[in-house]
Amino acid sequence: MAARIHVITLGVSDLDRALSFYRDGLGLPSQGIIGTQYAGDDQRPAGAVAMFKLGDGLILSLYPRPDLAKDAAVHASHTAGSGFSIGQIVDSREDVDRILQLARRAGATVPGPAHERPWGIYSGYFADPDGHLWEIIYSLPNNAPA
Amino acid sequence: MAARIHVITLGVSDLDRALSFYRDGLGLPSQGIIGTQYAGDDQRPAGAVAMFKLGDGLILSLYPRPDLAKDAAVHASHTAGSGFSIGQIVDSREDVDRILQLARRAGATVPGPAHERPWGIYSGYFADPDGHLWEIIYSLPNNAPA
């Protein structure tokens, strides 16, 4: 298996709300919701999705949790919760604090203030409106990144 | 906020098992578990983690769910579940089927056979030992990718 990831799809409860958070709140570029011509039903997932082109060809995708469950043929409860985090590395402590503040204003929850870790980073988390965790990370000088 | 992701951290129940699945089962390159010198306690997360360098500088990281919860200052229940999927695009239907078979042999669950979607892909999912979903995707000729 190639060591390569192309898409990260976040299961969301409200596609409009999630799009607004990432596009209008965080300023990530998106064409908005596409794929609405693919109507789902009880068995088949609908196709409506919002996508964001990130650097290096990576795509962040927002997809309703029930459709993700149907598409993967797993029980709806499988796509509840959020046992992962997405990390973004920035250039300064100020950038960490600024982005957490931006996210809070956009509707995110910031569970605690950013702080240093013994493994050589200053970082803080926000949880998007669906609870998905983002860690904003600054690698301290003279320390290896975590 | 920059449109850029550097790290995807999966919360896992058993770090050794998860490392074995991704390194020995799927063949992704890793130096193994690092950061064991950072012992945690009831409040602070431990530093032990397994990392995989993916293409384009992206890092896939495996981190115990309780440590992820402590690091993010969220309740442990927050890091249960898996409301997202990771997508990998491959070059053929055969690659989709081959990787699903590889993952199943490595200990993954394959909830259903790969199949075509109306939005122009042939894809199938596997769930890793912690339930994290991967979608292996082939874009059908003459169709726009999803």
B129 found inside a domain: yes
Residue B72 maps to a domain: yes
Query: Looking at B48, B79, B110, which one is the last position of a domain?
Result: B79
Tokens of A137: 């990370």
Number of folded domains that form chain B: 2
What's the order of all strands across the beta sheet hosting B30-34? Answer: A115-117, A121-127, A133-139, A84-89, B7-12, B59-64, B49-53, B30-34
CA distance B23 to chain A (A): 10
Determine the pLDDT at residue B143: 59
**In the prediction, which pLDDT does B99 show?**
94
Q: Are residues A127 and A99 in the same domain?
A: yes
- Examine the domain organization and report whether A41 and A16 are in the same domain: yes
Q: Check whether A146 has a pLDDT greater than 60.
A: no
pLDDT > 90: percent of chain A: 60
How much is the average pLDDT of A102-113?
91
The whole-number average pLDDT for the span A51-74 is 90
pTM for the full model?
A: 0.85
Q: What is the mean pLDDT of chain A?
A: 89
Size (chain B), residues: 146
Give the model's confidence band at A49: pLDDT under 50 very low, under 70 low, under 90 confident, else very high. very high
Residue B81 has its nearest CB partner, among A26, A82, A125, at: A82
Same domain, A36 and A62: yes
**B124 occurs within a structural domain:** yes
Residues of chain B with pLDDT under 50: 145-146
Closest by Cβ to A78, choosing from B10, B74, B131? B131
Tell me, yes or no, whether B145 lies in a domain: no
Give the model's pLDDT for residue A79. 85
B55 and B96 housed in the same domain: no
pLDDT band at A93 (very low <50, low <70, confident <90, very high): very high
CB contact under 8 A, B83 and A132: yes
pLDDT > 70: percent of chain A: 97
A1 found inside a domain? no
Residues B59 and B33 in one domain: yes
Highest mean pLDDT among A71-75, A77-81, B95-99, B114-118 belongs to B95-99
Q: A114 and A52, same structural domain?
A: no
My answer on whether A70 and A110 are in the same domain is no
Pick the last residue of a domain from A64, A79, A94: A79
**CATH number reported for the structural domain that contains residue A11 in this entry:** 3.10.180.10
Interface test with A, best of B4, B5, B9, B53 (most A CBs within 10 A): B5
Residue A35: inside a domain, yes or no? yes
Cα A131 to Cα B11: distance, rounded to the nearest angstrom = 14
Measured at the alpha carbon of residue A127, what is the angle toward residues A124 and A130, in degrees to the nearest 5?
A: 170
Does the pLDDT at position A129 exceed 90?
Answer: no
Residues A34 and A53 grouped into a single domain: yes
- The rounded distance, in Å, linking the Cα atoms of A145 and A139 is 5
**Cβ-based contacts of A129 with chain B (< 8 Å):** none
Q: Is residue B47 part of a domain?
A: yes
CA distance B27 to B100: 13
Q: Answer yes or no: do A108 and A130 share one domain.
A: yes
- CA-to-CA dists, residue B99 to B27, B57, B83, angstroms: 11, 23, 22
Judge if B22 and B65 occupy the same domain.
yes
Q: Which of B79, B113, B131 is the last residue of a domain?
A: B79
Task: Quote the pLDDT of residue A60.
Answer: 93
| Same domain membership, residue A89 and residue A66 | no
Residue A66 domain flag = yes
Q: Could you list the residue range(s) of the whole structural domain that residue A34 is in?
A: 7-79
Residues A74 and A116 in one domain: no
